[in-house]
Structure 1
């Protein structure tokens, strides 16, 4: 190779090195500028909010469960049908409930009659006790009369017995006086026995009255225990009859209708579900690294894949789930292994939606949402 060729190659390498240096400097400046822009965005713009597309519409469904058993005779709604609170959903055959109601009405009437009979019996026992006590006074008078007769008979007998020796009283008169004394003693004993019997009968009659009155004391024809029991059975029968007509517990849309006409349903079985489309929320699953500044009360904006970006919903954070999704899964993650790899977890954040916006643009449970929370709002 000639000296001229060597000089040309040397000048070319020097020229290449002189061009490479400005390029490297420009590249470094560009990378630094990009890093600075990202830092500025993250500090002044990105740090003001957190967002996720892992969010879904949820709601507190109302399960319609009949509270009485029977055969379904009419179903007035079907899946996807909107209903209002109190609207008739289906009816259950009510023949058994009507029979039970008639029986309960009859039992209440019988209980009221028995109570009235008890009151009448109480009055009768009271009158009987009063009559027994009145007879006591008559018996006392008889005892007093018998004792007076006995006293006279004793006096007459003693007087005649004293005169027997003088001959002023004959033996027949003394015998008669003795017989009168014995008769007066017997009459007095009989009167006293009759008095004791009358007193015992009066006490027994009064105690019978007290025992009968104790069953109704402090009660009326509405508060007596047996009447209240019969009334409660009647109220239950009326309630069971009313429960054969099942109405919507809330406003919403029918979902999962599980009954047909002619089917026998059991009390407590789920017949259908009512979804409250006017009171929905969003569970947004944020990464744990995003939640350091998220607080309840912060505002949020949401977009639904159902309507696209043209419809924006507004809501606010109302709380956090009690654990991550993996913590409540059927098979929780077991990280105590030698090949453990750390995975960023997600925690559901519940966002309440504006009912007016839901009314204007209805959503359904399970739809996907994009959620963004403003971190600059006050807690």
Structure 2
């Protein structure tokens, strides 16, 4: 019986396949290249995920007490600056305003009366002086005729009594004039003390009436509304808040080991968890805080103990955002951000050393309060003054 020998294998079949080894080597090379590129790009940059959107939360408060009658906005509503938000019952303020107007008008008229009285007493003083001169002439003439016996001693005595009465009348009138002058000397009608007091009271009443209409100090979204219709409110109590959505920035909390190369003015790329990774915000470092977050906490950590454990501290870094990008992709307070800072340029300052040249934030809703009140005062004074006679300064 003959046995069959198997055919010898071909050289291609006997040679082991090297495809898996080549693929593995290629993958390792690609990984090393990717790591090299990543390392090269990460050099000169610092990044953190501990970053959040922050902004101003403007509280709307009342400057006067009153009862709420109207609320013109609710949470999530947009409101423009100077728009009325809350209206208080104005009845009491209107009554006080009308009373103050009447008091100012009366003060102006009383001041006019005092100026008239001064003029009247000045005329009486002139008259009394004439009476004194006449009485003196009578006494002198009678004394000259007394030697010839043409005038009796009784008549001379009578003339002397008339002179004494004239002098006494002059002194009394001069004292009365001094009393009146004490009320108006070195003043005009508009600078009279009684008029100034009444004018100040009218300004107070007008401003109190004006403040029964509570307006928004800034433009933004309403949030945290707590006021209700019919509620009695007191000055300083927060009624609601307005968040200006165009005034937002990012606070990035970098580790203390990361801040060595951070400088003011360095460019920043940011991504928000609220948007896709394709949405990139651009910003600039505008300042590094004066301390770590724990240093300004309500209860700072006390590390002078035996059980001390080192905790990595973080320093808040403020980043200003591109306003146009924020307008296209609005941000809300508290949103998480991923931040990457390009630290290749380190010529900027580490800390701010320049003083602000203008206010960081301001509102103009109160600018015209006093101006409008002054206009009301001017109207009342003009309606009750005698411009032809009472604006002359009276000197003692």
- The TM-score normalised by the length of structure 2 is 0.75
- How much has 1:199 moved relative to structure 2? 2.5
Give the alignment partner of residue 129 of structure 1, picking from 119, 125, 128. 125
Whether 1:362 and 2:327 are equivalent positions in the alignment is: no
| 1:314 and 2:310 are equivalent in the alignment | no
Secondary structure, counterpart of 1:376 in structure 2: coil
Aligned partners of 1:241, 1:310: CA distance in 2, in Å? 53
Aligned equivalent of 1:98: 94
The alpha-carbon deviation at position 232 of structure 1 amounts to 1.3
Counterpart for residue 188 of structure 2: 220
| SS of equivalent residue, structure 1 residue 73 | strand
- Pairwise CA distance, 1:52: 0.6
- Give the match for residue 47 of structure 2: 51
Residue 377 of structure 2 corresponds to: none
Instruction: Structure 2 unaligned segments of length 5 or more: list them.
Output: 1-27, 349-396
Q: Secondary structure of 2:279's partner?
A: strand
Which secondary structure does the structure 2 equivalent of 1:50 belong to? Answer: strand
Q: Which residue, 159, 168, 186 being the options, matches 1:191?
A: 159
Larger Rg: 1
- Matched residue, 1:71: 67
Segment of structure 1 superposing worse, 112-121 or 183-192:
183-192
Q: Distance in 2 between matches of 1:356 and 1:195?
A: 94
Aligned to 2:252: 284
Give the corresponding residue for 1:7: none
Instruction: Give 1:175-324 correspondences, 5 Å limit.
Output: 184-324=152-292
What is the CA-CA distance between 1:201 and the residue it aligns to?
A: 2.7
CA distance in 1, matches of 2:41, 2:185: 81
Query: What SS class does the counterpart of residue 334 from structure 1 fall into?
Result: coil
SS in 2 for 1:331: coil
**Secondary structure of the structure 2 residue equivalent to 1:227:** helix
Corresponding residue pairs, total = 316
> Cα offset for 1:41?
6.5
SS in 2 for 1:316: strand
CA distance in 2, matches of 1:245, 1:132: 60
Which one is further off, 209-218 or 192-201? 192-201
> SS where residue 292 of structure 1 aligns?
helix
Secondary structure of 1:57 counterpart:
strand
Please say which of residues 369-378 and 97-106 is displaced more in the overlay. Answer: 369-378
Return the offset for 1:109: 1.1
- The RMSD of aligned alpha carbons is 2.1
- Whole-Å Cα distance in 1 between the matches of residues 45 and 330 of structure 2? 26
Task: Write 1 or 2 for the structure with the bigger share of helix.
Answer: 1
Q: CA deviation at 1:284?
A: 0.6
Q: 1:292 to 1:343 in 2, by over 3 A?
A: same
Q: Does 1:143 align with 2:144?
A: no
3-state SS of paired residue (1:311):
coil
In the aligned structure 1, how far is the partner of 2:80 from the partner of 2:142? Answer: 92
Kindly state the Cα deviation for residue 245 of structure 1 after the two structures are TM-superposed. 1.1
Compute the displacement of 1:207 (Å).
Answer: 3.4
Q: Give distance in 2, aligned partners of 1:347 and 1:133.
A: 88
SS at match of 1:347: strand
